[in-house]
Chains A and B, each alone.
Chain A
Amino acid sequence: SQQGEEDPQALSIQEGENATMNCSYKTSINNLQWYRQNSGRGLVHLILIRSNEREKHSGRLRVTLDTSKKSSSLLITASRAADTASYFCAKETSGSRLTFGEGTQLTVNP
């Protein structure tokens, strides 16, 4: 698959717990980006991590990138019900083209 893989496909947790989503890819990348999408809505850009970076933080979000394993993870700490959404990783290769992963559907129960 050109898209690579994300896991888990679905994740259900309680408010306050942490959520971890993983993304793998097959080809070399310029950077890797994480997006959030609420049902039937557009994409919200969360974090971009470059290929020479290993970790990045933004508020309650932490992204790691392991280029040797061709994988990335998104950690959401202290989750809230409002974090319920689909989360996608997107790999940027040449010419700004993005290849999206299958996505993880996160449900945070109040």
Chain B
Amino acid sequence: GAVVSQHPSWVICKSGTSVKIECRSLDFQATTMFWYRQFPKQSLMLMATSNEGSKATYEQGVEKDKFLINHASLTLSTLTVTSAHPEDSSFYICSAVGDYQYNEQFFGPGTRLTVL
């Protein structure tokens, strides 16, 4: 089956620093990737939709200058949390859609971000 990886799996950083999270589709080309955020004991909230070669589409309430998304190739999308603050601490999950029936999304294992 299709595999999506994320790197790093966890990261701890100081307040004010920027953190980059990578999402890769390992065995298929992903025309679209999605970024979700999940706070403890809550559901996944879609942050943005990333299409290769174009600007990401952000959901209402998500600051595009705070969460920079780059989808430079058909196998890689990156999310950069700029000037991170403790309230940005969360579980960030990406998913990728390839050329499969029903446009099934394949999810990465997630990245746990802790901002001190």
Residue in A3, A31, A42, A50 whose beta carbon sits within 8 Å of that of B107 in the complex: A42
Residues on A with beta carbons closer than 8 Å to the beta carbon of B54: none
Stretch at the interface among A12-20, A55-63, A70-78, A94-102: A94-102
Decide if A97 touches B93 in the complex (CB within 8 Å).
no
CA distance A30 to B102 in the complex (A): 9
Cross-chain contact of B110 among A35, A42, A48, A102 (Cβ < 8 A): A42
Cβ–Cβ contact B93 & A43, under 8 A: yes
Most buried by B among A31, A41, A100, A102: A100
Given A40-B112, A42-B109, A45-B107, are A95 and B49 also a contact pair (CB < 8 Å)? yes
Question: Across the interface, do B91 and A88 meet the contact criterion of CB distance under 8 Å?
Answer: no
| Interface hits, A18-58 → B, CB 8 Å | 31, 35, 40-43, 45, 48, 50
Residues of B within 8 A of A95 (CB): 32, 49
B72 in the interface, Cβ–Cβ < 8 Å? no
Q: Do B32 and A96 have beta carbons less than 8 Å apart?
A: yes
Expressed in whole angstroms, the Cα–Cα distance for A96 and B104 within the complex equals: 8
Question: Do B109 and A41 touch across chains, with their CB atoms under 8 A apart?
Answer: yes
Binding site for B on A (CB under 8 A): 3, 31, 35, 40-43, 45, 48, 50, 88, 92, 95-103
Beyond the given A43-B95, A92-B103, could you list 19 further A-B residue pairs with CB under 8 A, ordered by the A residue number? A35-B107, A40-B112, A41-B109, A41-B110, A42-B93, A42-B107, A42-B108, A42-B109, A43-B93, A88-B43, A88-B44, A96-B34, A96-B97, A97-B34, A97-B49, A98-B46, A98-B105, A102-B43, A103-B42
Residues of chain B having any CB pair with chain A under 8 Å: 32, 34, 36, 42-46, 49, 91, 93, 95, 97, 102-110, 112
